[in-house]
Structure formats: structure tokens, C-alpha cells
Amino acid sequence: MKEKGTTGMVEKVGIVGCGTMGAGLAELSAKAGLDVRVAVSSDESRNRGLRRITRSLDRGIAKGRISERDRESVLARIDFTTDLGRLADRQLVIESIREDESAKLEVFRTLDKVLEDDRAIIATNTSSLSVARLARATGRPEHVIGIHFFNPVPVLPLVELVESVLTSPETAARAEEFAAATLGKTVIRAPDRAGFLVNALLFPYLLSAIRMVDSGLATAEVVDQGMELGCSHPMGPLKLADLIGLDTTVSIAEAMYEETKEPLYAPPPLLLRMVECGILGKKSGRGFYSYN
């Protein structure tokens, strides 16, 4: 268990959603010795989320990173609920549902009503939406902040801390302590603008690669090979888009385009058609590559 700071120590964490990111957050928080409660929409969502966490821990055992005993300790620190009201005693709650603003706003309104601690932090793991707009759905906007993790959450070291114009300095300090001292992440401050810092740089690159494929200039394999072998990228842009999820890629691109009206953020027609047809990347078994 990592040593925690003493200012507003977080020991009880809530996570809303247990998809790829939510499951990673639950695993990471439990590994840090925290009491973790995950809110899901259904028993089936719980089962899928638990399978994700278990598979990740099993990979850790196979690679010699954790022991069987560690695995059981982590799982024992995580419980699930379908009732957001059971997050009432949490000191920090991280929302990690799909990139749908109306759905996120509803979660924030509910959390604002149920959280008992007046100093409890409500964080969002959104990749692109305005933290300030989410904060305004609550009666405690000063305690709302963006804590943006990257996939896979237990592995990638970076976190973007996104303060809105309404976030208090105390909330920012406590959130940074949580991410850095408790979870062991490297924290950078990012602006509350669509895409924040990393995605504002990354997505024009991903979308440009998709446009190359869409226009017939090159295949996905050739584009990825060029960037992996020519630029030493660990993963080509089309493989990365598949990993992120093509539906998530569309959501992030549309949010950035809506805010900036920059053509480089507009999702290409090929990407839109693939998502309309349920071709979502690795999670659906098919994207620019096949994963069957």
C-alpha cells in the first residue's frame, strides 16, 4: 500500500461505471489499499466489470508482477452496487461512464444529492467534455474536477488534472495528492477545453490517419507500419484508434469540433460509418483490424 499524504486523505473511493476505464480505476485504487465501491447499471455490467478486473490481475500473476495473495486482497477491497445512493460515504467519486454529456450530467446531479461529506470530491474521467458544465449540474462546483486517466489505467503513468474556473485550490490540491501520492501517477495540469492537452494533440493525428485510409492513399497496415517503424511509435494510429474504441474516438472528435469548429477535429465519414454499423474496434472484435 502506497503512503498517503495527510491533507484530506482519501480512503474511500467510489467509481461510477465499470467499462475498460472504470475497471482499471477500480483495480488501481484497490491496489493502493483503498476501500473501493463501484456503481454499475445492472448485474450484467457488474459481471463484465469483475471479469475485466480479474483478467487484468491474472495477467499480472502470469507476468510475475503480483502474487495470488495480492490478487485476492485486491478483489476483497472492491464491491459493487447498482444504487448510486450507496456511494454516500465516499470521500472521492470518479465518474467513468460513456462520453455522453446528458448521462454524465444526470450522474453528477445524483451524486450531489447523495454524498454526505461536504468536502467530497466529484471527479470526471471524461476525455473531452467541459468540466465546468458538469460542475454546474451540482450545488458544489468548487469540489468538481477532471482527473483524466489513460488506457490501460493500471499501466500508463500519466494523469491530466483538469480544473474548471469553479474548482477550488483545495480540491485541486487534494485531487493531485490522490493521483500522485496515493495512486503513484505523474500529474500534469491541463486546461478545461475540449480534448484537454493530450487528446488535443493526439486526435488530429488519429483522424488524419483515418482520412488517409478513407481516401485510399494507404491501408491501415501501411499507415501503422510507417509510424511504428519510421517514427518509433509503439503503436500505429489505426491500432490505437481500435484500442481507444471507434465510438469513443467519434465522441471525442465531435466534442472538440463542436467547441473549436476546427476542421482537423471533424470525424471522417469512414469512421462515422464504421461506428453506425457497430464496428467499434477491439471491444467489438472488429475495427480497422480483426480481433477474433
Least confident stretch, 26-30, 226-230, 255-259, 273-277? 255-259
Q: Which is the catalytic residue, given 125, 128, 164, 199? A: 199
Task: Check pLDDT > 90 for residue 292.
Answer: no
Task: Check pLDDT > 90 for residue 249.
Answer: yes
Q: What share of the chain is helix, strand, coil (3-state, %, to 5)?
A: 50, 15, 35
Range of 240's domain? Answer: 200-284
Structural domains counted in the chain: 2
For the stretch 53-88, pLDDT in tens is 999 999 999 999 999 999 999 999 999 999 999 999
Q: Does the annotation count 127 as an active-site position?
A: yes
Asked if residue 181 and residue 61 are part of one domain, the reply reads yes
For the stretch 166-206, pLDDT in tens is 999 999 999 999 999 999 999 999 999 989 999 999 999 99
Mean pLDDT for the stretch of residues 122-127: 96
Q: Which is the catalytic residue, given 29, 127, 130, 251? A: 127
In a domain, 228, yes or no: yes
Express as a percent the part of the chain with pLDDT over 70.
Answer: 97
Per-residue pLDDT, 90: 98
Average pLDDT over the chain, rounded to an integer: 95
3-state secondary structure of 262: coil
In a domain, 29, yes or no: yes
Integer Cα distance of 227 and 103 in angstroms? 36
Q: Does the annotation count 56 as an active-site position?
A: no
Q: What predicted TM-score, i.e. pTM, was given to this entire model?
A: 0.89
Q: Domain with 40 in it: what CATH number? A: 3.40.50.720
Q: Which is the catalytic residue, given 45, 148, 164, 177? A: 148
Asked if residue 81 and residue 21 are part of one domain, the reply reads yes
Asked if residue 126 and residue 36 are part of one domain, the reply reads yes
Mean pLDDT for the stretch of residues 7-34: 93
Q: Does the annotation count 199 as an active-site position?
A: yes
Per-residue pLDDT, 8: 63
Asked if residue 125 and residue 210 are part of one domain, the reply reads no
Per-residue pLDDT, 4: 37
In a domain, 68, yes or no: yes
Question: Domain ends where: 190, 218, 242?
Answer: 190
In a domain, 292, yes or no: no
Q: Does the annotation count 292 as an active-site position?
A: no
Task: List the strands of the sheet with 121-124, edge to edge.
Answer: 78-81, 35-39, 12-16, 92-95, 121-124, 144-149, 158-162, 186-190
Per-residue pLDDT, 193: 93
Per-residue pLDDT, 188: 98
3-state secondary structure of 100: coil
Question: Domain ends where: 157, 190, 223?
Answer: 190
Mean pLDDT for the stretch of residues 112-134: 95
Q: Which is the catalytic residue, given 160, 163, 176, 177? A: 160
DSSP conformational letter for 92: E
Question: Domain ends where: 142, 160, 190?
Answer: 190
Mean pLDDT for the stretch of residues 267-288: 97
Asked if residue 276 and residue 148 are part of one domain, the reply reads no
